[in-house]
């Protein structure tokens, strides 16, 4: 099945335009599955039966794999066999009607306005790297973009005159996101001072660069955020997605409509965005319980 996996991977990359991370997740799941089938002496997709797939999934459960991991693995297997069916590699699809386990939806962690102010206040904009870090954090909170979108920004994607940012999301889908004056000012200051000194290559198009003058990496930004999160002394883990969640929740709390927030976040399905309404309802209930004399 390794040959079919290679063709499937190429199909996902070229025709579906999946992101590198999503592609790696699918391949990782399917390599485990194919390896397990090999151990059972099954090396041809035509030989795979539904019982074999369920046996594999049962082993994942025995090994205490997370429910989300099992659910994603089922989706990977289902998609793989749909491809094999479409391409004529198999006549019967053993992955039809595979039941996905129910995943308990946890509300994402959201920082309060005071915590956001504390976090964004950690970088020292008087230093080159401090000004760059300040610009990145301010832009992340001002736009709600993903960390991959942040580090993927080019100089041409930032338009301070109209106050918009162009970014490329999942599947390289492009969208335009508005940004506020504070973020614009810090990014402008970074570009006019810090970037020109950090960037050693005049041909570099990346908006945010590291100390070597190359495009900032995902790992590099995570280290930067972790450093300022520790300095802020905010309880709990803070990730780039925590800032994205906070961006969406704060917009809704202050009267933004769900559809606009969906567009800004780049969600293809509004159901994904609706989780933030649960957070705002929960907060309203807490405010009511604290403030109402007969609560």
Per-residue pLDDT tens digits of the chain, which is 295 residues long: 888 998 998 888 877 777 777 888 889 999 999 999 999 999 899 999 999 999 999 999 999 888 888 988 999 999 999 999 999 999 999 998 787 776 556 677 889 999 999 999 999 988 899 999 999 999 999 999 999 999 999 999 999 998 999 998 877 788 999 999 999 999 999 999 999 999 888 889 999 999 999 999 999 999 999 999 999 999 888 999 999 999 999 998 888 888 888 888 988 777 778 777 776 666 656 655 776 565 5
Work out the mean pLDDT of the chain and round it to a whole number: 88
Contact 143, 183 (CB under 8 A): yes
Residue among 31, 109, 170, 283 flagged as catalytic: 170
Q: Is 49 a catalytic residue?
A: no
| Catalytic pick among 146, 168, 245, 250 | 146
CB atoms within 10 A of CB 83: 18
Residue 178 forms beta bridges with which residues? 164
Residue 78 is a catalytic residue: no
Tokens of 142: 């001002």
User: In the numeric block, which tokens belong to residue 267?
Assistant: 């969600």
Quote the strand ranges of 75-225, DSSP E. Answer: 158-159, 164-168, 174-178
Q: Which residue among the candidates 32, 166, 267, 283 is catalytic per the annotation?
A: 267
Q: Round to whole Å and give the CA distance between 216 and 235.
A: 27
Q: Quick check: is 292 catalytic?
A: no
* Active-site residue flag, 170: yes
Question: What pTM does this model have?
Answer: 0.65
Domains of the chain in start order, with CATH, are: 2-86 (1.10.150.130), 113-290 (1.10.443.10)
Q: How does pLDDT run across 231-289, given as a tens digit for each residue?
A: 999 988 899 999 999 999 999 888 888 888 888 898 877 777 877 777 666 665 665 57
- Which pLDDT value is given to residue 171? 72
168 flagged as catalytic: no
DSSP output for 99-113: PPPPPP-PPPP---H
Nearest to 5 by CA among 36, 29, 21: 29
* Torsion angle, alpha carbons of 280, 283, 288, 289, to 10: 150
Q: Which listed residue (241, 259, 281, 285) is catalytic? A: 241
- 218 in catalytic set: no
């Amino acid at each position: 099945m390794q040959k079919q996996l290679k063709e499937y991977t190429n199909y996902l990359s070229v025709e579906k335009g999946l992101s590198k991370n999503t592609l790696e997740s699918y391949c990782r799941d399917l390599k485990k599955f194919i390896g397990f089938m090999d151990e059972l002496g099954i090396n041809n997709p035509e030989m795979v039966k539904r019982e074999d797939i369920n046996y594999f999934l049962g082993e994942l459960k025995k090994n205490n794999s997370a429910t989300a991991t099992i659910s994603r693995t089922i989706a990977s297997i289902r998609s793989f066999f749909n491809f094999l069916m479409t391409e004529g590699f198999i006549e019967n699809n053993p992955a039809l009607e595979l039941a996905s386990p129910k995943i308990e939806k946890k509300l994402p962690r959201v920082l309060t306005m005071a915590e956001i102010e504390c976090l964004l206040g950690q970088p020292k904009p008087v230093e080159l790297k401090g000004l760059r870090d300040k610009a990145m954090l301010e832009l992340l909170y001002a736009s709600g973009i993903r960390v991959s979108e942040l580090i993927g920004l080019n100089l041409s994607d930032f338009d301070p005159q109209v106050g918009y940012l162009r970014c490329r999301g999942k599947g390289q889908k492009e969208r335009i996101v508005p940004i506020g004056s504070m973020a614009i000012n810090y990014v402008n200051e970074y570009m006019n001072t810090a970037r020109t000194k950090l960037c050693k290559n005049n041909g570099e198009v990346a908006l945010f660069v590291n100390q070597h003058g190359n495009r900032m990496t995902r790992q590099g930004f995570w280290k930067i955020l972790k450093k300022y999160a520790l300095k802020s002394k905010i309880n709990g883990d803070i990730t780039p997605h925590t800032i994205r969640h906070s961006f969406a929740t704060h917009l809704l709390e202050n009267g933004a409509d769900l559809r606009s927030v969906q567009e800004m976040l780049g969600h293809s399905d509004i159901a994904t965005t609706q989780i933030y309404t649960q957070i705002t309802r929960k907060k309203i209930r807490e405010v009511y319980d604290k403030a109402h004399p007969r609560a």
